[in-house]
Structure 1
Amino acid sequence: MKHVTDYINLEYKTKDIPVKDVDHKFISGLEYYLKTERKCAHNTAIKYVTNFKKIVRIAFANDWISKDPFLNWKAKLKIAFFIFLKFNNY
C-alpha cells in the first residue's frame, strides 16, 4: 500500500485516485516507479504489482469497476540463480 500511495503522490500529485482510474498506463508506471525510484529488483517489483492486481481484481469481481485493467498485463518473473559457497574446514 505504501508504494502505491507514494507512486500516486509522486505521479498524480494527490493522496488517492479512484479505482476506476487505474488503467494499463498506471500499472506500467507503477512497475517503472518501483524499479527506478524505489530501486526494487525486477522480481520484487513484479510481486508488488501482482499484490496490487489482487486488490483490483476484487474491485472488478464486485462490479466496482467495469473492466479489468490487468487484462493485457503479464507478470514475467526472471529466474534467479543462487550460488552456494562451500567453505573448507581446516
Structure 2
Amino acid sequence: MKITRAQVEHVARLARLALADAELDALTDEMDAILGYVETLNSLDTDHIVPTSHAVPMENAFRDDTVRPSLGTMKAVQNAPAAAGGCFVVPKVIE
C-alpha cells in the first residue's frame, strides 16, 4: 500500500472534508490505485521525449495592438438597463 488511511484523513482534513469511515476506506483504496498507476508511469523511459504543455500544438491568437477610437460614453450606456449622466446605474451592494 502506497498511502495510509492516516494520510488520507490528513488530506481530507486539509481539504475540510468530513468523510465517514466507509468513505475513508474507499478513498484510501482508490488513491492507492492511482498512486500505483503513477508509479507505473514513472518507470517509463522518457529521456528522449520533449516536454510539452499541451497535447496539440498551440499558436498565439493575439492580434496586433493598434490604436483605435474608443466606443464613446453615449454608445457604451445605450443598452444599459439604467444610466444617468453617462454612467451605469447599479444597485447599492455595500451597506
TM-score, L = length of structure 1 = 0.32
Which structure would you say has the larger Rg? 2
Structure with the higher fraction of residues in strand conformation: 2
TM-score, L = length of structure 2 = 0.31
Structure with the higher fraction of residues in helix conformation: 1
